[in-house]
């Protein structure tokens, strides 16, 4: 499982404050904690309160790169903000994200190719969030087609079914899980799959339990990557155990410790 830490997001009060006050040490501590907890990459999102997201994203990237050489996932709905972030990034980068709309695809797929980036494609369009699996797969196919047209390697594309909160979209959970399985049959070589995990429990109680239950289920449907809180150790234990049971980790009695020392 490719793990992207979700905690450097202006949605969180501590990060919003750090951006406002240009306090690097808060961001750097948050980066190092997530890497220690097992993150392979870090999501970087300025949040809704940022008035200058193009410069704030560069400030966040530079702060993180002073202390770590991890991959960064540039999380913005604005292609201009992502483009600004790409100029500051030194290591392998993830573009988070394009939608299935041609105005986004026409800018972001060529940019992903130019920067040798991974690309996250949300199965969403200007018409809104799909209501069922067929609509998700149709939008997924549009994104895959754009990658093929632009010579962008489909193995570097991560399709995101858009996880909805279970307390507002309970009847859609099964379709979201089945989309993860079916994204893989769109093309050969297949695209990969990703979810923003914490969405599933937004507004609910027992968040951590809902998150780890959904994650284990999504892993069994073939999930390749997740944006999640790696500092939730029960979540990470569930992830590691699910991979063990699917024969993706070698069993030993101390497999949790062994994974953490990898
Ligand atoms: N797909 C992709 N990218 C994404 C998402 C996605 N990026 C953003 C988001 N969704 C994933 N990241 C988060 C980060 C935090 C929360 C949810 C998803 C979260 N935050 C608390 C809340 O809203 O209740 C904030 C708590 C606080 O303020 O302290 O749940 O789906 N590609």
Whole-model pTM: value is: 0.97
Q: Is 199 in the pocket of ligand 1 (CB under 6 A)?
A: yes
Transcribe 208-251 into DSSP letters: HHHHHHHHHHHHHTT--EEEE-TT-HHHHHHHHHHHHHTTSS--
Q: Which residue lies with its CA nearest to atom 22 of ligand 1?
A: 202
Number of Cβ within a 10 Å radius of residue 170: 10
DSSP string, 72-118: EEEE-S-HHHHHHHHHH--S-EEEEEE-S-HHHHHHHHHHHHHTT-E
pLDDT single digits (tens) 101-143:
999 999 999 999 999 999 999 999 999 999 899 999 999 999 9
| Ligand 1 pocket mutation pick from 168, 198, 202, 214 by most atoms within 8 angstroms of CB | 198
pLDDT in tens, 47-103: 998 999 999 999 999 999 999 999 999 999 999 999 999 999 999 999 999 999 999
**Would you say the CB of residue 160 lies under 6 angstroms from ligand 1?**
yes
CB-ligand 1 contact for 75 (6 Å cutoff): yes
Give the whole-angstrom CA distance, residue 4 versus residue 24.
Answer: 20
- 2-232: CATH number: 3.20.20.20
The Cα 138–Cα 123 span in angstroms is 8
Tokens of 172: 């859609």
């Amino acid at each position: 499982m490719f793990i992207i830490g979700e905690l450097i997001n202006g949605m969180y009060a501590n990060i919003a404050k750090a951006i406002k006050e240009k306090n690097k040490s808060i961001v750097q501590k948050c980066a190092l904690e997530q890497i220690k907890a097992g993150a392979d990459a870090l999501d970087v999102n300025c949040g809704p309160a940022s008035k200058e997201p193009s410069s704030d994203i560069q400030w966040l990237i530079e702060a993180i790169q002073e202390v770590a050489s991890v991959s960064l996932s540039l999380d913005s709905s604005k292609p201009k903000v992502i483009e600004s972030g790409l100029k500051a990034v030194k290591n392998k980068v993830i573009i988070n994200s394009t939608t299935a709309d041609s105005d986004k695809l026409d800018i972001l797929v060529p940019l992903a190719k130019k920067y040798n980036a991974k690309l996250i494609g949300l199965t969403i369009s200007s018409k809104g969030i799909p209501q069922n699996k067929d609509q998700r797969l149709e939008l997924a196919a549009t994104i895959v087609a754009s990658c093929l047209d632009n010579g962008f390697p489909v193995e570097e594309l991560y399709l995101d079914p858009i996880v909805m909160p279970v307390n507002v979209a309970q009847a859609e959970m099964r379709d979201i899980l089945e989309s993860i399985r079916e994204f893989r049959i769109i093309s050969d070589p297949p695209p990969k799959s990703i979810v923003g995990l914490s969405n599933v429990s937004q507004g609910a109680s027992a968040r951590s339990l809902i998150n780890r239950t959904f994650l284990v289920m999504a892993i069994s449907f073939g999930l390749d990557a997740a944006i999640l809180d790696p500092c939730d150790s029960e979540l990470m234990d569930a992830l590691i155990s699910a991979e063990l049971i699917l024969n993706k980790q070698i069993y030993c009695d101390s497999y949790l410790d062994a994974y953490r020392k990898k």
